[in-house]
Structure 1
Amino acid sequence: MGVITKIAIQQKRVDRYNIDIDGQYAFSADEAVLIEFNLKKGQTLTEEDIARIGLRDGVQRGVNTAINFLSMRMRSEKEVRDYLKKKEIDQEAHEEIMERLGAMGYLNDEQFADAYIKTQIQTTEKGPAVILRELKEKGIRDDTAASLMEQFTVEAQVEKAGVLFEKALKKYKKDSAFLQQKKAEQLILTKGYSAAVMKKAANALEPDEEAEQEALMHQAEKAHRRYRALEAREYRQKMKTALYRKGFDLTDIDRAINRLLEEEER
């Protein structure tokens, strides 16, 4: 038991106060806690009183910490809980902190998940599987995430996957159409789209015969420089093997080889 002899505002935190008991610093408290317990100079406090004040202050500090964290963007309940642990907020205060945040309208996992899905659809290339995995990591219930994911329609998925497909084809334009297709398909699957959506996106694109021939000649010229010194039969065999492994058609390969040899003779 002791008597409050001084209450002073902290220099760096104007919302917190230092409390002295019997002439010595005893503890600090948030302004809201100060008001709640009506703390004032001359007031007598027991050890139990100080313990209750400390618990309430821990809750208030946690609420303030969480609100600051939430001020940057929406967060899931799990993200907030993890942040409270990181900031070493007293574990006993966590449940009350979460309840107060919920009552104040700061926490709603369904609203968070809905906003998160909309943002990912509008600003990223991610497919449903990746978005669902990220929501799970953020503590969103599977049934909630699955229900809200219905807004990402198959039509929208095919459209986004088609854009990805075209980008991949351009990136690998020096490869054969076969390899371009495989690499593009792998990219789409990695981004979180289903095989069915990937196939629909691929089928919607028209094959580019001119680009295929350009890619073939690019690879054929590289192989030609490597094998041009070989005997004719070995040269053809090496050329065919190298280009076939890259996914080009054998008939087109023969044409490319003949064209290179004709140019060599000129």
Structure 2
Amino acid sequence: MPIITKISVQKNRTDRYNIFLDEVYAFSVDEGVLIRYSLKKGQELSELDLTQIQYEDEIRKAYNNAIQFLSFRMRSQLEIRQHLQKKEWNESVIQTVLQTLKEREYTDDLEFAKAYVRTQISSGKKGPQSIRQELVQKGITESFIEQSIALYSEEQQVEHAIKLGDKLAGKNMHLSERILKQKLEQFLITKGFPYSVINIALEEIQFEKDEDEEWQSLFQQAEKLYRKYNHLPESEYQQKIKQALFRKGFELDLINRYIDEKRE
């Protein structure tokens, strides 16, 4: 059996040790592995010893890597698994590391999910359905998701939907009221808000226009269309303008008003 002839501390990693067998460098181990197996000069190692020591060291290296990954922010178990898989650790090592992290309370998917939801609530940029989907992608169970999403009250959802909607409406007041409402609805759906919240929010979002405001929106868009089509015969460009403005959500009486005024 090979004999340990030298043990030296690595220059750049004082927590790792180089092991020499029969005067030749064989492998390195973590300090914890060194202590656990009581490795010392003159010790004989069987093939089984070598396999166990190196396997244990693989676990220690993967564990340390996971701890470093966790040092930046909380992670779900799936995120850690995927991270270790990218580092090409084998499944048995990964499973051991995940179990150890859980036992030492370095990971807790329920607390992770709650913290994630609280962060998203603070940002005010997403509805519960988007957050739910993100938690699913992070490997959180349905039970934990339900407990976490419950932190996001309907009142908070409505408040966030109104703020997001007002911001979008302010940038799109040139649109017709009907198209702007559709745009707001679709926008809030993509943000993950349920219809019940969207309907409440639309009652508060400032997108409705009086006739003068709607006329100004139509006039701005109609003028662009006029410049585009006025080289055509009058009946043809009028038809194109009418069709384009109608598709943009404007009422026929306002469209005809523009056509009549332009004709005059």
Fold conserved (TM > 0.5)?
A: yes
Residue of structure 1 in register with 2:126 after alignment: 126
Q: Distance in 1 between matches of 2:223 and 2:57?
A: 75
The letter for the 1-side match of 2:190 is T
Aligned-residue Cα RMSD (Å) equals: 1.8
Show the counterpart of 1:242: 244
Normalized against structure 1, the TM-score is what?
0.91
Q: Summarize the alignment of residues 158-197 of structure 1 with structure 2, pairs less than 5 Å apart.
A: 158-197=158-197
Name the CA distance, whole Å, in 2 between partners of 1:90 and 1:205: 53
Match of 1:57 in 2: 57
Comparing 163-172 with 71-80, which one deviates more in the overlay? Answer: 163-172
* Partner of residue 257 from structure 2, selected from 225, 233, 255: 255
Aligned equivalents of 1:116, 1:261: Cα separation in 2: 60
Kindly state the Cα deviation for residue 228 of structure 1 after the two structures are TM-superposed.
3.5
Match of 1:220? 222
**2:161 touches 2:188 (CA, 8 Å); kept in 1?**
yes
CA contact (8 A) 2:79 2:138 kept: yes
**2:69 — aligned with what?**
69
* Conservation of the 8 A alpha-carbon contact between 2:124 and 2:160: no
Q: Which residue identity is paired with 2:108? A: N
| Secondary structure of residue in 1 paired with 2:3 | strand
Secondary structure of the 1:28 match is: strand
* Separation in structure 2 between the aligned mates of residue 152 and residue 212 of structure 1, nearest angstrom: 36
Gaps of 5+ in 1: none
AA aligned opposite 1:205: I
Runs of 4+ with >6 A deviation = none
Look up the match of 1:198: 198
Please give the alpha-carbon distance, in whole angstroms, between the structure 2 residues aligned to 1:29 and 1:177: 69
Q: Percent identity?
A: 42
Gaps of 5+ in 2: none
Contact kept? 1:58, 1:90, Cα under 8 Å: no
Any idea what the Cα deviations from partners look like across 1:60-117, whole Å, max 9, x if unmatched? 1111010000001100011111111111223222232122212222100000000001
Structure 2 CA distance for aligned equivalents of residues 219 and 90 of structure 1: 62
Q: Name the stretch that deviates more: 114-123 or 67-76.
A: 114-123
Q: Which amino acid aligns with 1:101?
A: L
| CA distance in 1 between partners of 2:233 and 2:97 (Å) | 81
SS of alignment partner, residue 44 of structure 1: coil
Q: Secondary structure at the match of 1:151?
A: coil
Find the aligned partners of 1:50 and 1:132 in 2 and give their Cα distance: 46
Tell me the amino acid that sits aligned with residue 185 of structure 1: E
Deviation string, structure 1 residues 232-257 (Cα, Å, up to 9, x no partner): 55454443222122111122223333
The one-letter code sitting in structure 1 at the alignment partner of 2:230 is: R
Q: Distance in 2 between matches of 1:231 and 1:26?
A: 90
Provide the rounded CA distance (Å) in 2 between the counterparts of 1:124 and 1:64: 35
Distance 1:40 1:211, change over 3 A: farther
Write the mapping of 1:31-42 to structure 2, written as runs, cut at 5 A. Answer: 31-42=31-42
Retained in 2: the 8 A contact 1:176–1:248? yes
SS in 1 for 2:150: helix
Which position in structure 2 is the counterpart of 1:15? Answer: 15
Distance 2:239 2:95 in 1: 73
Q: How many residues align?
A: 262
* Structure-2 change in CA distance of 1:26 and 1:163 (3 Å): same
- 1:126 is aligned with what amino acid? K
- Report how far residue 128 of structure 1 moved: 1.1
Give the CA deviation at 1:35: 1.2
Q: Against the structure 1 CA distance between its residues 18 and 41, is the aligned structure 2 distance closer, same or farther, given a 3 Å change threshold? A: same
In 1, Cα distance between equivalents of 2:92 and 2:174: 61
Which sits farther off after the overlay, 102-111 or 207-216?
Answer: 207-216
Aligned to 2:110: 110
Q: Which amino acid aligns with 2:146?
A: A
Structure 1 distance, partners of 2:15, 2:124, is 41
